[in-house]
């Protein structure tokens, strides 16, 4: 077969597989939002069948033949050409997929579907023992997956590759250790600072219906297109990209915790903006997909923290908040509200953690996941190991499993290897924002007027429109001129919080 025809067939297959995957994504979104509990078994079978069908397509020997027909042809003379980028990713995914038996893929999907529901039930009951058998199954399946995929140093690397291609856990351990060494003294200084905010401002009565209105208002201002997306309620905040024109976000609300839903909404909006900014003409191919999950997390963390916890943001939004929550914010000064939004305190729950302590939550999960995969930590011992890690790094000990190891749904969903991308995303976000300020100048004036278009346009031009053309590490270096590093984040945190807390 001629190389041009072989490439066209690869593209056709890729687009078809992406459509099929979007059906699974829609079923997964429904499972997390509106699925009746009695329908879990049927949904597990549906998702397992789709996973098996997708695996069959991804591992079809004809794909390997088509790749051979294209590789080495004139279509790939320039590595930056569209065809070269797509084929590079087709080959990477194919080589990975053919190592996994369909039976393992289907079983992993089926178990994860049940495990997610059991995690939610265990969380409601604050009882890890209900979830433990499912975590044991997940860990066993993930170890089998790592063995099938192969690795050089650590089984965790085989799973990490799914979310951040090319990353290795030994390298991340070094990077994260350097970050930890800089963060711990800052956390300690802020914890014992004489100037403290009043966090109770955010713990008053904030009616849920008004929280939703305020969240939608902020999402629209940042650029989220509600004609091409929606906002729903769930147990654990998430986003789902069904396809062009259909990007969905979900958040959770608490009546006396303003920040829980609001910042989770901003976080998921950041994900959604990336998806809504990907080149539609390349949908169904690597060029129409994100660079990596860490780069995805960079978008969510940038909009949630760098923008959403910034002073200019609240210069614009605080007067609106006071109109929507008149009772809760009566007599509250803008400066006091802004300080409360940026309260730094060791807490148990990752999704509501401040931006200074947040990465310590991730480092704990990273260490526990590696230990689970290596066999150094048994699933039954997770609660005690979790509690000990929190005591060691944050000086606090969870009083129950909801505050502790049941707070995240990732393990129930089988997403072992996902957590490091949050910290990598924070690092990418700090470098990106430093670069956009260098190129555009001070964005604070526009933010204070409720205008976020310049930032969104810059991100669309520099990140979103490239899709998966460049691996994340290469993309950050092309955009900022520097490889990934921990210092930009540390410097930004020190500057902001030293001023706030008058260190």
The partner residues of 251 in beta bridges, in order of sequence, read: 233
**146 and 181 fall within a common domain:** no
CA 447 to chain centre: 24
**90 and 215 fall within a common domain:** no
**66 and 134 fall within a common domain:** yes
pLDDT digit string (tens) for 343-397? 999 999 998 899 999 999 999 999 999 999 999 999 999 999 999 999 999 999 9
Beta strand 229-233 pairing with 238-243: unpaired
Whole-number pLDDT of residue 290: 97
Is residue 120 in some structural domain? yes
Whole-angstrom Cα distance, residue 484 to residue 156? 21
Is residue 163 in some structural domain? no
Whole-number pLDDT of residue 157: 97
Greatest distance between any 2 Cα atoms in the chain: 74
Query: Cα dihedral sign for 118, 124, 125, 129?
Result: positive
Question: Does residue 47 carry a pLDDT above 90?
Answer: yes
Question: Does residue 1 carry a pLDDT above 80?
Answer: no
Whole-angstrom Cα distance, residue 494 to residue 145? 41
Whole-number pLDDT of residue 77: 87
- Rounded mean pLDDT, 279-291: 97
Give the SS3 label for residue 144.
helix
Question: Does residue 225 carry a pLDDT above 90?
Answer: yes
Spatial contact of 294 and 301, defined as CB atoms under 8 Å apart = no
Say which residues have a Cβ less than 8 Å from residue 384's Cβ, sequence separation at least 6.
none
Whole-number pLDDT of residue 92: 95
Give the SS3 label for residue 36.
coil
Where a domain ends, among 150, 179, 201? 150
Closest CA to 243 of 271, 274, 284: 284
**211 and 140 fall within a common domain:** no
**312 and 342 fall within a common domain:** yes
**113 and 177 fall within a common domain:** no
Is residue 162 in some structural domain? no
**239 and 287 fall within a common domain:** yes
Is residue 184 in some structural domain? yes
Whole-angstrom Cα distance, residue 377 to residue 379? 6
Residue 484 has phi, psi (to 5 degrees) of -55, 135
Whole-angstrom Cα distance, residue 72 to residue 65? 13
Q: Look up the CATH number of the domain holding residue 225.
A: 1.10.1370.30
For the chain, the first-to-last Cα distance in angstroms comes to: 69
Say which residues have a Cβ less than 8 Å from residue 8's Cβ, sequence separation at least 6.
none
Whole-angstrom Cα distance, residue 468 to residue 392? 39
pLDDT digit string (tens) for 78-130? 888 999 999 999 999 999 999 999 999 999 999 999 999 999 999 999 999 99
Is residue 285 in some structural domain? yes
Whole-angstrom Cα distance, residue 205 to residue 183? 33
pLDDT digit string (tens) for 158-187? 999 999 999 999 999 999 999 999 999 999
Whole-number pLDDT of residue 442: 82
Confidence of residue 7 (pLDDT cuts 50, 70, 90): very high
Question: Does residue 49 carry a pLDDT above 80?
Answer: yes
Is residue 155 in some structural domain? no
Whole-number pLDDT of residue 78: 86
| 185, 187, 359, 396, 473 from 181: Cα distances, Å | 7, 11, 12, 19, 23
Spatial contact of 231 and 249, defined as CB atoms under 8 Å apart = yes
Whole-angstrom Cα distance, residue 330 to residue 332? 6
- Rounded mean pLDDT, 184-194: 94
Where a domain ends, among 117, 150, 183? 150
Confidence of residue 236 (pLDDT cuts 50, 70, 90): confident
Per residue, what are the HEC states of 303-339?
HHHHHCCCHHHHHHHHHHHHHHCCCCCCCCCHHHHHH
**70 and 108 fall within a common domain:** yes
Whole-angstrom Cα distance, residue 51 to residue 57? 10
Q: Which residue among the candidates 268, 297, 304, 369 is catalytic per the annotation?
A: 268
Closest CA to 162 of 399, 356, 421, 403: 421
pLDDT digit string (tens) for 425-453? 999 999 999 999 999 988 999 999 999 99
150: exposed, middle or buried (Cβ count in 10 Å: 0-12, 13-18, 19+): exposed
Domain that holds residue 79: 3-150
**292 and 425 fall within a common domain:** yes
**133 and 203 fall within a common domain:** no
Whole-number pLDDT of residue 80: 82
Whole-angstrom Cα distance, residue 66 to residue 6? 5
Whole-angstrom Cα distance, residue 39 to residue 30? 11
Whole-angstrom Cα distance, residue 85 to residue 478? 16
Confidence of residue 148 (pLDDT cuts 50, 70, 90): very high
**105 and 253 fall within a common domain:** no
Whole-angstrom Cα distance, residue 163 to residue 149? 14
Beta strand 246-251 pairing with 238-243: antiparallel
- Rounded mean pLDDT, 321-336: 97
Give the number of domains in the chain.
Answer: 2
Is residue 160 in some structural domain? no
What's the mean pLDDT when you consider all of the chain? 95
Spatial contact of 455 and 449, defined as CB atoms under 8 Å apart = no
268 part of the active site? yes
Spatial contact of 420 and 172, defined as CB atoms under 8 Å apart = yes
- Rounded mean pLDDT, 298-322: 97
Where a domain ends, among 150, 179, 200? 150
- Rounded mean pLDDT, 14-20: 97
Whole-number pLDDT of residue 79: 86
Provide Rg for the chain, Cα atoms: 23
Closest CA to 372 of 413, 411, 422, 409: 411
Spatial contact of 168 and 157, defined as CB atoms under 8 Å apart = yes
| 9, 13, 223, 312, 424 from 469: Cα distances, Å | 20, 19, 24, 34, 19
Closest CA to 468 of 286, 296, 293, 294: 286
**193 and 306 fall within a common domain:** yes
Is residue 158 in some structural domain? no
């Amino acid at each position: 077969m001629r190389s041009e025809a072989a490439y066209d067939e690869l593209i056709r297959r890729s687009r078809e597989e992406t459509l099929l995957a979007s059906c699974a994504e829609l079923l997964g979104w429904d499972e997390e939002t509106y699925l009746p509990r009695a329908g879990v078994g049927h949904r597990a079978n549906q998702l397992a069948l789709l996973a098996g069908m997708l695996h069959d397509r991804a591992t079809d020997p004809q794909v390997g033949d088509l790749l051979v027909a294209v590789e080495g042809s004139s279509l790939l003379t320039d590595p930056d050409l569209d065809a070269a980028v797509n084929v590079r990713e087709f080959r990477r995914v194919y080589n990975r997929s053919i190592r996994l038996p369909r039976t393992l893929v289907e079983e992993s999907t089926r178990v994860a579907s049940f495990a997610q529901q059991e995690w939610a039930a265990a969380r409601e009951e604050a009882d890890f023992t209900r979830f433990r058998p499912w975590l044991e199954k997940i860990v066993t399946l993930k170890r089998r997956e790592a063995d099938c995929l192969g690795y050089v140093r650590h089984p965790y690397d085989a799973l990490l590759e799914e979310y951040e291609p090319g990353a290795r856990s030994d390298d991340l351990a070094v990077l994260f250790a350097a970050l930890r060494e800089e963060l711990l003294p800052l956390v300690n200084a802020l914890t014992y600072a004489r100037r403290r905010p009043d966090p109770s401002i955010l713990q008053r009565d904030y009616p849920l219906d008004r929280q939703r209105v305020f969240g939608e208002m902020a999402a629209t201002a940042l650029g989220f297109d509600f004609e091409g997306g929606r906002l729903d309620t769930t147990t654990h905040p998430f986003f789902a990209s069904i396809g062009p024109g259909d990007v969905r976000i979900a958040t959770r609300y608490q009546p006396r915790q303003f920040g829980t839903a609001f910042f989770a909404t901003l976080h998921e909006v950041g994900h959604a903006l990336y998806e809504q900014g990907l080149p539609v003409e390349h949908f169904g191919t690597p060029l129409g997909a994100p660079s990596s999950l860490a780069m995805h997390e960079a978008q969510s963390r940038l909009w949630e923290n760098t923008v959403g916890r910034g002073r200019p943001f609240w210069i614009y939004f605080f007067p609106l908040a006071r109109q929507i929550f008149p009772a809760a914010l009566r007599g509250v000064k803008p400066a006091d509200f802004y300080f409360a939004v940026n309260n730094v305190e060791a807490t148990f729950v990752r999704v509501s953690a401040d931006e200074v302590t947040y990465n310590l939550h991730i480092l704990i999960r990273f260490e526990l996941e590696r230990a689970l995969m290596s066999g150094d930590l048994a699933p039954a011992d997770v609660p005690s190991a979790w509690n000990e890690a929190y005591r060691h790094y944050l000086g606090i000990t969870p009083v129950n499993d909801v505050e502790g190891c049941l707070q995240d749904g990732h393990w129930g969903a089988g997403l072992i290897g996902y957590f490091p991308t949050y910290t990598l995303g924070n690092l990418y976000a700090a470098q990106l924002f430093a670069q956009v300020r260098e190129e555009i100048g001070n964005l604070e004036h526009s933010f204070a007027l409720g205008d976020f278009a310049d930032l969104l346009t810059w991100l669309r031009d520099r990140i979103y429109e490239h899709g998966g053309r460049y691996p994340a590490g290469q993309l950050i270096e092309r955009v900022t001129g520097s490889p990934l590093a921990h210092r930009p984040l540390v410097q930004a945190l020190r500057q902001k919080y030293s001023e706030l807390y008058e260190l």
